[in-house]
Amino acid sequence: MTHKPLLATVLGERQERPPIWIMRQAGRYLPEYREIRTKAKNFLELCYTPDLATEVTLQPLRRFDLDAAILFSDILVVPDALGQSVRFEQGEGPVLDPVSAESIGALKPERALDHLAPVLETVRRLRAALTPEKTLIGFCGSPWTVATYMIGGRGSTDQAAARLFALRHPDAFAALIDILVATSIDYLVAQLEAGADVVQLFESWALNLDDQAFEARVIEPNRRIVDGVRARVPNAPIIGFPRGAAGNLANYAARTGVNALGLDYATPLDFAARHLPADLPVQGNLDPLRLVAGGAQLDERIDAILAAFQGRPHIFNLGHGIVPETPIEHVAGLVERVKNG
């Protein structure tokens, strides 16, 4: 079997130089992406059109020596597949018709995988197109993060609508989480069966929760997904990325059972050494705006991250998604420095 450095790292094998991929590596900072984007009438159509989604996924690997492709899709294809109205509006981002305690029962988990069939076809095409040493990453949003959009109707700085909903309507909230856990398991298993090597759980809104809420809304649903996926795909490699988890990171890693832990850019570089098992792979964690600014500060921070994690399995990445105004030459320089020093 061809060696896949990134997959091997997720499974606990330290590399001489860390493999690298970049969250949102296929996206608006690339002119070729912007050109493809004009061929779809809206963002969801782009996600659901295998020809276009496959092309977009492969674009960054043609420019940069990245070790992985990540499926081009979005975490909100899951509520869309459940029958909730989801649309992406220019300048506003995702907008959903909020669910209520009464309307959760109208969601249709039984239709979800059929609706997501075009995404799974994209995974199959990517598996066929990628060279053997490249890792293919699938993903979904974690239940709490997806629920915040489903309840609030859009992104939020404090997730107040979902936090209040969970406190005021605990039974309805639990029912929603149950639906999202079951659907996420089915979806991730289908991605692995279609050819994904690794899957990542994006808990993008892990912040703003007290420890009790974090345990119930983040750790427990993610644990259930990890267990559910591995019950059907034994030893499935899974990365967990609980952005903003801060002091809850070690507990998340221990309790969920993920193979590798994504660290956001606010996580101190000595956190892993002080609080995480020495053999736990970590991923991250360059501030995306350092990549925009470039210059000596970028090189210094890259080197500091490499040095901080050199004693453990490490996947170099940003600590959140790349932003549209990122200069392409800065990305090329980042990849070159990580790969070749």
Q: Which two tokens stand for residue 175?
A: 């029912």
Of 33, 149, 187, 252, the active-site residue reads 149
Q: Is 28 tagged catalytic?
A: yes
- Which DSSP category does 322 fall into? P
Q: Is 149 tagged catalytic?
A: yes
Kind of pairing between the strands at 282-286 and 314-318:
parallel
Reduced to 3 states (helix: H, G, I; strand: E, B; else coil), residue 158 is coil
Could you give the CA distance from residue 17 to residue 310 in angstroms, rounded to a whole number? 8
Of 14, 17, 37, 223, the active-site residue reads 37
Of 29, 33, 67, 74, the active-site residue reads 74
Of 14, 17, 28, 223, the active-site residue reads 28
Q: Is 37 tagged catalytic?
A: yes
C-beta of residue 22 within 8 angstroms of C-beta of residue 66: yes
Could you give the CA distance from residue 129 to residue 209 in angstroms, rounded to a whole number? 41
Q: Which residues contact 33 (CB under 8 A, 6 or more apart)?
A: 26, 27, 56, 59
Of 24, 224, 243, 312, the active-site residue reads 24
Q: Which residues are catalytic?
A: 24, 28, 37, 74, 149
